[in-house]
Amino acid sequence: MAKLTMSCTKALAQIVNQLGLEKPKITSEEIDNGMFHATIEVDLVNWVSMGFRGPREFTGKSSISARRAIRKAAGSVVFSLEKYGMVKINDFSGKKLKLWKRRVMDIAKICMEVAEERDELEKNHRYLERKNGKLLVENARMKVKISMLQDKIICLMEDKEGNTDLINENNQFNANS
């Protein structure tokens, strides 16, 4: 029994369709020496939240035709997705792609949870930094107040010593008289 395989362009179309992504932008042009250059720009904005950290533009070159260059570019997209564990290259049946879609969505959910926790930690960090700044300002004010109160205490202690000397002199003067 022969094994059925899909072309990479059909596989890419099915992956994009099942993941609900925007249609990729495909451009091809003939450059010098009869070479064809194709570029596929895949919208990976929401793929980044799903754990895919690859490039957005994939290129392919062919000396035969633009269609072959496009196939090569689509192949590089699909092979990159396989490398990052998003699809399995040898089996493109609908059932397997749904399984991989579920895996991608699980990865996306975990990434979103991590991102939410990171955002919460950053928010708490900013709050604590502001709180730390306020506490440092309050600490400086308290140090100034403490130094002022210590100066007042020193002045009052000097006055008390002077007053006790005067009281002792008065007591001696009254006792002598």
Domain layout of the chain by residue ranges = 8-116
Encoding tokens for residue 113? 């949870």
For residue range 15-48, list pLDDT tens digits in order. Answer: 776 666 667 777 777 777 777 777 777 766 556 5
Options 3.30.160.20, 3.40.50.2300, 3.40.50.300, 3.90.550.10; which CATH number does 8-116 get? 3.30.160.20
Dist. CA 138–CA 160, nearest whole Å: 32
For residue range 74-89, list pLDDT tens digits in order. Answer: 777 777 777 766 666 5
Per-chain mean pLDDT for the chain: 74
Confidence band for 113, pLDDT divided at 50, 70 and 90:
confident
Encoding tokens for residue 43? 């919208």
Does an H or E element contain 38, and which?
strand 35-41
Encoding tokens for residue 3? 């094994």
Alpha helices for the chain (secondary structure H): 8-19, 45-48, 66-83, 94-176
Give the rounded percent of residues in the chain with a pLDDT score beyond 70: 66
